[in-house]
Amino acid sequence: MALRLAPVAVLLPLLLASACGGRSEYEAASRRRTAPIQEKNFAVAIEMYFIDTRQMPKSLQDLTVPSEKDGEPFMSRIPSDPWGTDYDYRIVNSPKREYEIHSAGVDKILGSEDDIVYRSAESGR
């Protein structure tokens, strides 16, 4: 019986998405929610990097370098944003450990209205 329900469980979300405006709107909303989650994951890795090295990473790629303490990288890889563009990491104030992480958004142009930006100063860390 469970095997017969499996296709329904897979198709139901797609059918609901179609009924509520189509699959493309569902996908677009999902992508808009994914970018801030990825940016928060970067923030956790940046904090761990700082604790380990007592300095800010110069780039997100620094997070893939093995830690001197345990030999494990802070992140195994640096993902692209949900639209396939590299995230932009900017140190705003190094002594205060303030930085920003930018997703270029759906238009793939940094600095435009649809950018999704994580600001460490606003995170309350």
- Render pLDDT for 13-60 as a digit per residue (tens, 0 to 9): 555 555 555 578 888 888 899 999 999 999 999 999 999 999 999 999
Residue 29: the pLDDT is 87
Q: Count of CB atoms within 10 A of residue 28's CB?
A: 15
Q: Is residue 17 part of a domain?
A: no
| Residue 18 forms part of a structural domain | no
Residue 40 belongs to a domain? yes
Task: Report yes or no: 68 and 38 within 8 Å, Cβ to Cβ.
Answer: no
pTM, rounded to two decimals: 0.76
What is the domain-level CATH number for residue 83? Answer: 3.30.700.10
User: Is 53 part of a structural domain of the chain?
Assistant: yes
- Name the residue range of residue 63's domain: 32-122
Within-domain flag for 75: yes
Question: Is residue 39 within 8 Å of residue 33, measured between CB atoms?
Answer: no
Please give the tally of structural domains in the chain: 1
56's CB contacts (< 8 A; 6+ apart) are 46, 49, 50, 91, 94, 97, 99
Per-residue model confidence (pLDDT) at position 121: 82
